[in-house]
């Protein structure tokens, strides 16, 4: 059973392909790491899979339903932490969580109860009264994760969940996600640049390069005998050109 399945999924911006003919297969219950260098098309893919962006071509089935045709049915069953987050900055943290829960169909009391529990679990309980705009970046990320979880989704999309968060918070979130996956067959689809964290977390990996999927499978299949970082660099190549000059950086005068 596949949680996510795409066929020829593509998206172009001004005629330039950002994602090109993507055939993703994410098994239910998997912890799927979607990797790729900057500009590879990871966030664009995630936005298409969550209904934020219309594909130019191809189709995507999420939890067995077409994301474009059965959008409402899919949305109630997934949780998303998108790139740039989806938070109302003029609500307090507690209000944001509760209202988010209500928007996903929870009644007010249930949403309020879960919001309080999530604030505790995410170590935000003392900050629940602050407006979201006054949260630090890391706190916003944690709050967005709480929002994505409040309605008990079957599939969680996380776009760079560890970016801008301190090591302690990363460890806490990682532990929480692992427990959730182990406890109730939650499928997690995440993008990240932090390969060491991903390697310790995921069961499956997909590597995207210039909008195309260059590898996909279980972690063991993809990394073969090396580490994930070595495999990743080998597949996407070290294309950074060496700077030819920069002599002024070594000198004292500007």
Partner 1 sequence: MKGGARAVIELRARLLWRRLTGRAGIGEGVARVTLLLVAVPVGLFFAVFLGLGTWQAVRAPGGLRTEVTAVAVYFGIWQTWTAVSLSLNEREGIDLRRFLVYPIPPWRVYALGLGSGLAADPVTLFWGVLLAGIFAGAAIARPGAWLLLLGALLVLFALATALYAALLEEFLALVLSSRRSREWAIVLSVAASVAILLYLAASATRPLQALAEALPALRIARWLAWPGACAAAAARHLYEREPARSLPWLGLLAAGAAGAGRLAFAIALGQARGAGAGAARAGGKGDARLPLPVGGRLGALVEKEWKYLLRHPLARIYAVLVPAVAALVGLGLEPRIPREARDVIRALPLFGLAAYAHVASQAFWLNSLGWERGGARLAYLAPVDGAEVLLAKNAVLYAYSLALFLASSLLVLVPGRPLPSWALPAALALHAGMAPYLYGAGNLVSILNPKAASFAVQRSATVPALSGLVGLGIVSTVGGLFSLPVLVALRLDSPWTLVGGWAALCAVGWIAYARVLSREGALLASRRDALLPAVCGDDA
> For binding to partner 1 (CB under 8 A), which residues are involved?
13, 18, 43-44, 47, 50-54, 71-72, 75-76, 80, 82-95, 98-100, 102-105, 107-108, 112, 115, 128-131, 133-134
Closer to partner 1 at the Cβ: 125 or 176? Answer: 125
Nearer to partner 1, 18 or 205 (CB): 18
CB nearer to partner 1: give 27 or 82: 82
Interior angle at CA 211, CA 207 and CA 215, nearest 5: 25
Closest separation in Å from C-beta 33 to partner 1: 22
Query: Whose Cβ is closer to partner 1: residue 8's or residue 129's?
Result: 129
Separation between Cα atoms, residue 142 and residue 145, nearest integer Å:
5
- Closest distance to partner 1 from the beta carbon of 38 (Å): 13
Q: What is the DSSP letter of 53?
A: S
The distance of closest approach from Cβ of residue 84 to partner 1 in the complex, given in angstroms and rounded to an integer, is: 6
Between CA 240 and CA 223 the distance in angstroms is 22
Q: Can you tell me the distance from the alpha carbon of 225 to that of 214, in angstroms, rounded to the nearest whole number? A: 18
Whole-number minimum distance, CB 229 to partner 1, in Å? 27
How far is it, in rounded angstroms, from Cα 175 to Cα 204? Answer: 17
Between 116 and 195, CB nearer to partner 1:
116
- Dmax (CA) of the chain: 65
For residue 85, the minimal CB distance to partner 1 (Å) is 5
Q: Using CA atoms, how far apart are residues 84 and 76, in angstroms rounded to an integer?
A: 21
DSSP 8-state symbol, 88: -
Rounded-to-integer distance, Cα 135 and Cα 127, Å: 8
Residue 84's CB: how many other CB atoms inside 10 A? Answer: 11
Residue 23 or 95: which CB sits closer to partner 1?
95
CB of 52 to partner 1, least distance (A): 5
CB 102 within 8 A of CB 111: yes
């Amino acid at each position: 059973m596949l949680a996510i399945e795409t066929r020829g999924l593509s998206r172009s911006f001004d005629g330039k392909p950002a994602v090109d003919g993507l055939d993703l297969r994410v098994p239910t219950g998997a912890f799927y790491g979607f990797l790729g260098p900057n500009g590879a098309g990871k966030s664009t893919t995630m936005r298409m899979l969550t209904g934020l962006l219309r594909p130019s071509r191809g189709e995507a089935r999420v939890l067995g339903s077409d994301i474009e045709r059965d959008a409402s049915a899919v949305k109630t069953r997934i949780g998303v932490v998108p790139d740039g987050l989806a938070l109302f900055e003029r609500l307090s943290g507690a209000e944001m969580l509760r209202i988010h829960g209500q928007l996903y169909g929870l009644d007010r009391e249930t949403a309020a109860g879960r919001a309080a529990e999530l604030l505790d679990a995410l170590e935000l309980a003392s900050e629940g009264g602050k407006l979201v705009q006054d949260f630090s970046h890391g706190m916003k990320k944690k709050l967005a994760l709480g929002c994505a979880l409040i309605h008990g989704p079957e599939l969680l999309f996380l776009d760079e969940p560890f970016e801008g968060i301190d090591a302690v918070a990363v460890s806490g979130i990682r532990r929480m996600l692992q427990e959730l996956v182990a406890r109730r067959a939650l499928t997690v689809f995440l993008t990240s640049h932090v390969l060491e964290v991903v390697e310790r977390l995921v069961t499956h990996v997909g590597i995207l390069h210039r909008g195309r999927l260059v590898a996909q499978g279980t972690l063991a299949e993809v990394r073969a005998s090396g580490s994930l970082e070595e495999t990743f660099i080998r597949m996407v190549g070290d294309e950074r050109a060496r700077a030819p000059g920069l002599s002024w950086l070594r000198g004292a005068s500007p």
